[in-house]
């Protein structure tokens, strides 16, 4: 068979291999992109679920933080601020809600304690009980003719001190209950963050693996097509030699042709 015909036949066969490799490469990239898109959708779902859970717990975290700060203030205990209290959003879309109370810090000390005690005596519960009690004392004093006297003033002071002692325990316990609500919310937020963080990290890894597998698959398919071209040329030339009985000069031309095509000589 003439060498030109051999090469033509090889090019046709190699071209078919190259086309097939190109189609395989495109299919690999398409499949990888579809898988990456599915993983991206899963990531969006995970982020949305995490944000919903965190947002639902945010008010309890905020109130609980304020309550624990108020308890610390009652005893003049200092504490540091945690951030600036504004909401933040991560690169994946995870939202950390605002917590204005967390942004408040205190150096502690007597002045802080005095202000906290003043806040306590201004609470509605204490004020209502104090006013009701004082009205009772005044009515009793009026009935006994001692409304304006030193004894009446002393009785009012003793009543206020006793009421403060009684109400302080209630006030402390209410703050403690609110702080415990916040603690539970913070624990739930932390658990949600850890779980969603792991899920999001796994999904991000899956997206990366999908994209990488598409790139590798496309490269392998393209390489396979190019290998098919080379193999087609070499096989056609070999068959031509075996079946056509090339002359020495023809054999030399065959060798030179293979060398020009980057093939293997025999």
What confidence tens digit (pLDDT) does each residue in 46-92 have? 888 888 889 999 999 999 999 999 999 999 999 999 989 999 998 88
Return phi, psi of residue 89, to 5°.
-130, 130
Pick from 38-42, 145-149, 210-214, 239-243: least confident: 145-149
CB atoms within 10 A of CB 92: 16
CB-based contact 7:233 (threshold 8 Å):
yes
The predicted structure's pLDDT at residue 109: 96
User: How is residue 191 annotated by DSSP?
Assistant: H
The predicted structure's pLDDT at residue 174: 92
Return phi, psi of residue 7, to 5°.
-65, -40
The predicted structure's pLDDT at residue 20: 62
- CA atoms of 114 and 130, how far apart (whole Å): 19
265 pLDDT exceeds 50? Answer: no
Given the structure tokens 């005596």, which residue do they identify? 121
CB-based contact 101:62 (threshold 8 Å):
yes
The predicted structure's pLDDT at residue 222: 59
What confidence tens digit (pLDDT) does each residue in 98-127 have? 999 999 999 999 999 999 999 998 888 787
DSSP-based three-state secondary structure for 95:
strand
Where do the domains of the chain lie? 3-261
- CA atoms of 86 and 99, how far apart (whole Å): 7
What confidence tens digit (pLDDT) does each residue in 166-193 have? 788 889 999 999 999 999 998 888 888 8
């Amino acid at each position: 068979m003439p060498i030109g015909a051999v090469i033509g036949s090889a090019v046709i066969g190699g071209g078919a291999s190259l086309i097939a490799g190109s189609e395989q490469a495109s299919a690999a990239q398409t499949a990888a992109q579809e898988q990456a898109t599915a993983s991206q959708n899963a990531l969006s779902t995970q982020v949305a679920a995490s944000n919903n859970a965190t947002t639902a717990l945010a008010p309890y975290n905020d109130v609980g933080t304020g309550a624990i700060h108020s308890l610390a203030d009652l005893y003049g205990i200092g504490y540091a601020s945690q951030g600036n209290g504004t909401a933040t959003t991560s690169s994946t879309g995870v939202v950390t809600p605002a917590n204005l109370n967390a942004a408040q810090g205190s150096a502690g000390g007597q002045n802080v304690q005095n202000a906290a005690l003043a806040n306590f005596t201004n609470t509605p519960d204490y004020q209502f009980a104090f006013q009701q009690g004082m009205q009772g004392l005044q009515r009793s004093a009026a009935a006994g003719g001692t409304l304006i006297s030193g004894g009446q003033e002393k009785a009012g002071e003793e009543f206020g001190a006793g009421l403060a002692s009684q109400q302080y325990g209630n006030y402390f316990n209410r703050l403690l209950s609110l702080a415990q609500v916040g603690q539970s919310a913070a624990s739930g937020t932390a658990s949600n963050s850890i779980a969603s963080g792991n899920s999001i990290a796994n999904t991000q890894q899956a997206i990366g693996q999908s994209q990488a597998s598409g790139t590798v698959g496309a490269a392998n398919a393209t390489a396979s097509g190019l290998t098919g071209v080379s193999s087609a040329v070499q096989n056609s030339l070999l068959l031509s030699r075996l079946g056509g009985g090339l002359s020495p000069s023809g054999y030399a031309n065959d060798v030179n042709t293979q060398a020009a095509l980057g093939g293997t000589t025999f």
